[in-house]
Structure 1
């Protein structure tokens, strides 16, 4: 497969009097293959937005190498800009313009045929509301309009930051279908999202970033298999004697976690091995269920953001070494700024 996006050893450091030196990107690597929907995941402050803004030429990197469609950027941005559509952070539109007027204005500025405006409105499901003013739109509808603006030039690479933000479940499903259709048509989509269950459904591959470094990358199924802790995980409920059952399974070579009303057992590949070991000691289980690894649990483990039971985590955002200026918005439509 051909790499549409390559990042090697990307570094970015911020300096300020108040917060001192903060390393937002610390040798970050990323690769996206053609025709994929690729999930780019990371907690707030991980360096995710800094990566996207650096890639699009909105800020300058301190070191590393980046290539888009085989061209080195930022030097080649003028040549590849027309083949890339991107929405980074929250796009802003003129509230008194209609969706059609907004897209027509952008199409004119980008020398895009006006027929494309109708096509993208249809693609994102805004055709019936095309003449309504943007100020009457819900947050989800504004997200769809932002995606439409990024699609105007029919780009080869589409970069979307939280495209499902503000969408109801039906809208999220429509967005999922749109992303899959775009990939099927040959477009490559890089999708940043906090809805990890949705990422697991829609994405072919993922890159996970934490504290400016890549902590996992590859096809979704491989990432789940490699980072789910190894071995099969089984949940046991209604065991006649939980402590005794835990001791017996531990002696049998399993890794056992004891909770108030159940056991989590790893390392015994077949459920029958568990029931047989317990029955030999007159311990019986009324419910036994395999637990499938999911992207959310893997993400929380790899990024160190899993909540501690019985504690409420409160994150000091000012202490995070990630992206400054979260309130700053930047939107590009086949170009590098609106």
Structure 2
């Protein structure tokens, strides 16, 4: 396949009196092939938004190579800008403009035919509400309008930062279908999201970033296979026997995590070994089932953000609603779109 987006050894360092030297990006690599929906994942503060803003020429890197559609950026951004649609963080719209007026204005500024405005409003499900003022829109509707603005140029590469933010389950499903349809038409989509279940459903491949470095990349199925250990869920006839069963399996060489009503057993090649080991101790299995890894568990493990058992975990509110990294004075510039 042809690489649409290439990043090699990207570095970005910030300095401030309060925080000293901070490496937002520390030799980050990323490769996105044509026609894919590619998930770009990382915890808040991991470097996702810094990467996207650097790629689009909004931040100057300290080192590294970047290319879009085979052209080196930021030097070639004026040449490739017409083939790239992007929404990075939350774009701001004139509140008293209607969606129709907003997109018409953007289309005119970008030399896009006005007929395209109707097409993108239809694509994102806003055609029937296009005459209403943006200030009356819900957060989810504003997200749809943002995606519509990025689609105006019918780009070859579409970069979306948290496009499902504020959408209800029905809206998320519609957004998922839209992303798949766009990829099916030949467009390449880079999707940054905290909704990992959706990423697993929609994306062909992923890149996971943590503390400015790539920690995993490749097709979703391969990332799951490479980074998720083989696990078995074990239940016993008598729940009171769980502590004894856990100890027996650990003594026999397995890694065991005790849950409220079952055991999670790792590092076992044959599931029958578990039942035989426990039966030899007069402990009898009522359920023995392989546990399929999901992207969320792999992500939490790779980025060291999994909650510690018995310890409360502090969670950024933006992560709960799918929000991206927050703009700071160091990141440069206010939140906004990069569509037309």
TM-score by length of structure 1 reads 0.93
Q: SS where residue 242 of structure 1 aligns?
A: helix
Q: Which residue of 2 aligns with 1:46?
A: 46
> Hey, what's the Cα distance between the residues in 1 that align with 2:327 and 2:223?
25
Return the alpha-carbon distance in structure 1 between the equivalents of residues 326 and 104 of structure 2: 36
String of CA shifts for 1:243-265, please: whole Å, max 9, x gaps.
33223333544322233432111
**In 2: Cα distance, 1:118 partner to 1:290 partner:** 49
Cα deviations by residue, 1:151-180 (Å, 9 ceiling, x for unpaired): 000000000000000000000000000000
Structure 2's unaligned 5+ residue stretches are 318-324
The residue aligned with 1:144 is 144
Root mean square deviation, CA, Å:
2.0
Match of 1:126 in 2: 126
Other-structure match for 2:135? 135
CA distance in 2, matches of 1:12, 1:194: 23
Matched, 1:242 2:263: no
CA distance in structure 2 between the aligned counterparts of 1:119 and 1:304, rounded to whole angstroms? 43
Q: Are the structure 2 counterparts of residues 24 and 166 from structure 1 closer, same or farther at C-alpha, using a change threshold of 3 Å?
A: same
Q: 1:332 maps to what in 2?
A: 338
SS in 2 for 1:223: helix
Contact 1:211/1:322, CA 8 A, preserved across alignment: no
Structure 1 unaligned runs (5+)?
none
Question: Deviation at 1:84?
Answer: 0.1
* Post-superposition offset of 1:333: 1.1
Displacement of 1:239 in angstroms is 4.7
Cross-structure match for 2:320 = none
SS in 2 for 1:197: helix
Q: Report the equivalent of 1:200.
A: 200
Distance (Å, rounded) in 2 between the aligned partners of 1:236 and 1:12:
47
Instruction: Note the 1:203-242 alignment, pairs <5 A.
Output: 203-228=203-228, 230=229, 232-240=230-238, 241-242=241-242
Could you tell me the TM-score, scaled by structure 2's length?
Answer: 0.92
Deviations 1:4-24 (A, max 9, x none): 000000010111122211110
What are the Cα deviations for residues 222-257 of structure 1, in whole angstroms up to 9, with x where unaligned?
1111111x3x21111235322332233335443222
The residue number in structure 2 matching 1:290 is: 290
* SS of the residue 1:250 aligns to: helix
Could you tell me whether the CA contact under 8 Å between 2:236 and 2:283 is conserved in 1? no
Deviations 1:37-84 (A, max 9, x none): 000001111111100000000010011000000000000000000000
- Report the 3-state secondary structure (helix = DSSP H, G, I; strand = E; otherwise coil) of the residue aligned with 1:190: strand
Corresponding residue pairs, total: 329
In the TM superposition, structure 1's runs of 4+ consecutive aligned residues that sit over 6 Å from their partners are none
